[in-house]
Chain A
Amino acid sequence: MTNTAELRSITKTFDETKAVDDVNLEIRQGEILALLGPSGSGKTTLLKIMALIEQPTSGEVYLYDEKVNEKNAERLRLNCTMIFQKTTVFNTNVFDNVAYGLKVRKTPKERIQNEVKQALKLVGLDGFENRRARRLSGGEQQRVAIARALAINTKLLLLDEPTANLDPKNASAIEEIIAKANREKGTTVVIATHNMFQAERIPMRLALMGKGRINEVGTPAEIFGKLSKTLASFAAVENTFTGNATSAADGTTFIDIGSEIQLQTTAQPEGLVNVFVAPSDIILSRSHLESSARNVFKGRIVEISDLGKLVKLRVDAGKSFIVQITKRSFNEMGVNLDAEVFLTFKASNVQVI
């Protein structure tokens, strides 16, 4: 597989602070790569360097096997585009916003009309051409930004927290558009996110970032299958618990996480430990399941978020657990807010971090 972009020993320093520290990364053609890390981990700076709108302090950037320098940066920049976390639109109508990149590329007028129309249709904004872009809602403005990027048929699409400021429904729609662009147009996508769910759901590969460095690169299954300390350090808000470990007679270990909840794990930790349960590993049921799973808790649904094909639920079982199920399962179960449910997961699913 050839590389769309390659970063070699990239370092970026602002005053005395290293925003990006010796990063090496290959972006493979046609893939979706997620940069997962907490705020301030250098994701945005790295994306800007890939988008050729920020120069690294040291290191080399290659785009389609061509080394980027001052002379060719303006030309190579035509192959990629970035969508910023803070949605920015030009102070004009939707059509002119989406047509901007095409006009810069001196595209014939008729083609501009077609491309803008198609891009707006793809993001579900057909008929919005003459609306003032700055009068649209946040979600609609973000769609304009995506349409603007897609209209130029970019080879490399760089997205900085594209759904951070959107409600779950809009976020899900944007994710679907990104996936569609990748699927149908073969657009290589790099998406910076601190959202674990997004990082698990969308990409083919994940790069874990922390303090300006890339700590791990792998598939979502590899990264989430064995939760690392880097990931836990910023993803601790969801299904990560701390408790005292006590050995059980059957060789397993109980971890008392408080509120009268003891998690059973096959790991053999001692003392105070951090544990993690992947939201997709938890089985949700309306009644108690007779199974071999060692962890069964009763709770109530306190939050439901629609993520498109998936539904994220927060269940209060004394401690707050996040559960991820498919929308079909959710509909078939017919559960609502405040419904009483059971959470079931195996001892082997309780990972010690």
Chain B
Amino acid sequence: MNQIIDGLVKALQLIFSGNPGVYDITLRSLAISGAATLMALLWGTPIALILGLKNFRGKFLIKGFFNTMLGIPTVALGLILFLFFERETGIVGFLHLLYTPTAIIIGEAILITPIIVSFATSAIETVDPQIISLAQTLGASESTTSITVLKEASAGILLAGTACFNRAIAELGVALMVGGNITNLTEVLTTAVSRHTQIGDVEVAIALSIILLIVVFGITITVNFVQRRRK
């Protein structure tokens, strides 16, 4: 118990003293997870629009696939991606992405795509179907109608984006397997917590965990606040 309290005190000292190592890791985590979320939104939202607005054969199977992928173990995905990125034998090894921040961004974006697709599809499906007719009868083209539907579903999509970011910043498997946890290059909050705990540097591990929790809770609370204001 004492160790935890001591750890907490030292952790707070580390945070408030502006420790450069702690801040570097935090900023890297935010940048990587933010980029992964944007990437997933970029390709996940059009998929959600198609699944939410169109009727076609096999739609049920595609939705089922994304729903199943929601629970994929991060380590398993990390291993698959490692085999893809592996420099000697990987299919995309020639790109030399393994153990780079880009590899983590791509890996996390793939990990969170099912979240954005499933959540955004549900949000789009709950939009009043008459909104589509309304946009059309006011002269909107097909693309403008889709944008209008997205705007109507924006609350759900924002929530999906938040869930994606939180999942990305809190995951360990992908970052560890394709990032390699290289200090000052690919070390992010979760991998740093893991490493510092293993080497007995519990105070730093606790400090980084607190930051991780503050980021996750902070973003969720901010999004909730924004949603309330919009209502």
Tell me, yes or no, whether A binds B.
Answer: yes
CB distance from B157 to the nearest CB of A (A): 13
Q: A88-B130, A90-B152 are in contact. Are A152 and B138 (CB under 8 A)?
A: yes
Decide if B137 is an interface residue (CB 8 Å cutoff).
yes
Decide if B13 is an interface residue (CB 8 Å cutoff).
no
CB distance from B1 to the nearest CB of A (A): 51
Residues in chain A near residue B142, CB distance under 8 A = 74
Residues in chain B near residue A88, CB distance under 8 A = 128, 130-131, 134
Decide if A272 is an interface residue (CB 8 Å cutoff).
no
CA distance A328 to B177 in the complex (A): 85
Residues in chain A near residue B152, CB distance under 8 A = 90-91
Decide if B96 is an interface residue (CB 8 Å cutoff).
no
Against A, the Cβ 8 Å flags (1 = close, 0 = not) of B127-145 are 0101101111111111010
CB distance from B149 to the nearest CB of A (A): 11
The answer to whether B138 and A74 have CB atoms under 8 Å apart is no
The answer to whether B138 and A81 have CB atoms under 8 Å apart is yes
Decide if A82 is an interface residue (CB 8 Å cutoff).
yes
Q: What number of A-B contacts does a CB cutoff of 8 Å give?
A: 49
Of B135, B139, B144, B148, the residue contacting A152 (CB under 8 A) is B139
Decide if A312 is an interface residue (CB 8 Å cutoff).
no
Decide if A105 is an interface residue (CB 8 Å cutoff).
yes
Decide if A100 is an interface residue (CB 8 Å cutoff).
yes
CB distance from A105 to the nearest CB of B (A): 6
CB distance from A55 to the nearest CB of B (A): 12
Closest to B231 in A: A132
Interface size on B, residues (CB 8 A): 17
The answer to whether A53 and B137 have CB atoms under 8 Å apart is yes
Count chain A CB atoms within 10 A of each CB in B135, B137, B144 and give the residue with the most.
B137
Residues in chain B near residue A92, CB distance under 8 A = 151
The answer to whether A148 and B138 have CB atoms under 8 Å apart is yes
CA distance A220 to B121 in the complex (A): 49
Q: A84-B130, A84-B133, A88-B131 are in contact. Are A74 and B141 (CB under 8 A)?
A: yes
Closest to A91 in B: B152
The answer to whether B138 and A91 have CB atoms under 8 Å apart is no
CB distance from A101 to the nearest CB of B (A): 4
Closest to A84 in B: B130
The answer to whether A91 and B151 have CB atoms under 8 Å apart is yes
Against B, the Cβ 8 Å flags (1 = close, 0 = not) of A71-92 are 0001001101110101010111
The answer to whether A84 and B141 have CB atoms under 8 Å apart is no
Closest to B152 in A: A91
CA distance A105 to B144 in the complex (A): 11
CB distance from B67 to the nearest CB of A (A): 27
Closest to B131 in A: A88
Residues in chain B near residue A104, CB distance under 8 A = 138-141, 144
CA distance A88 to B134 in the complex (A): 8
CB distance from B15 to the nearest CB of A (A): 40
CA distance A328 to B18 in the complex (A): 81
Q: A88-B130, A104-B144 are in contact. Are A53 and B136 (CB under 8 A)?
A: yes
Of B128, B131, B139, B148, the residue contacting A105 (CB under 8 A) is B139
Of A48, A52, A101, the residue contacting B138 (CB under 8 A) is A101
Residues of A277-316 contacting chain B, CB below 8 A: none
CB distance from B178 to the nearest CB of A (A): 40
Residues in chain B near residue A86, CB distance under 8 A = 130
Decide if A51 is an interface residue (CB 8 Å cutoff).
yes
The answer to whether B139 and A53 have CB atoms under 8 Å apart is no
Residues of B168-197 contacting chain A, CB below 8 A: none
CA distance A86 to B151 in the complex (A): 20
CA distance A351 to B130 in the complex (A): 42
Residues in chain B near residue A152, CB distance under 8 A = 138-139
Residues in chain A near residue B138, CB distance under 8 A = 81, 100-101, 104, 148-149, 152
CA distance A183 to B135 in the complex (A): 27
Closest to A134 in B: B231
Q: A88-B128, A90-B148, A90-B152 are in contact. Are A48 and B141 (CB under 8 A)?
A: no
Residues in chain B near residue A48, CB distance under 8 A = 133
CB distance from B126 to the nearest CB of A (A): 12
CA distance A90 to B134 in the complex (A): 9
CB distance from A332 to the nearest CB of B (A): 44
CA distance A92 to B155 in the complex (A): 13
CB distance from A51 to the nearest CB of B (A): 5
Residues in chain B near residue A149, CB distance under 8 A = 138
Residues in chain B near residue A52, CB distance under 8 A = 136
The answer to whether A53 and B133 have CB atoms under 8 Å apart is yes
Closest to B230 in A: A91
Residues in chain B near residue A101, CB distance under 8 A = 138-139
Closest to A51 in B: B137
CA distance A80 to B133 in the complex (A): 13
Residues of B109-163 contacting chain A, CB below 8 A: 128, 130-131, 133-142, 144, 148, 151-152
* Interface pairs (15), CB distance under 8 Å: A51-B137, A53-B136, A74-B142, A77-B139, A78-B139, A81-B138, A84-B130, A88-B128, A90-B151, A91-B151, A91-B152, A104-B139, A104-B141, A105-B139, A148-B138
Q: Give 7 closest A-B pairs by Cβ, nearest first.
A: A101-B138, A82-B137, A104-B139, A88-B130, A78-B139, A53-B136, A81-B137
What would 4 more interface pairs be, CB under 8 Å, given A53-B137, A91-B151?
A48-B133, A74-B142, A77-B136, A90-B152
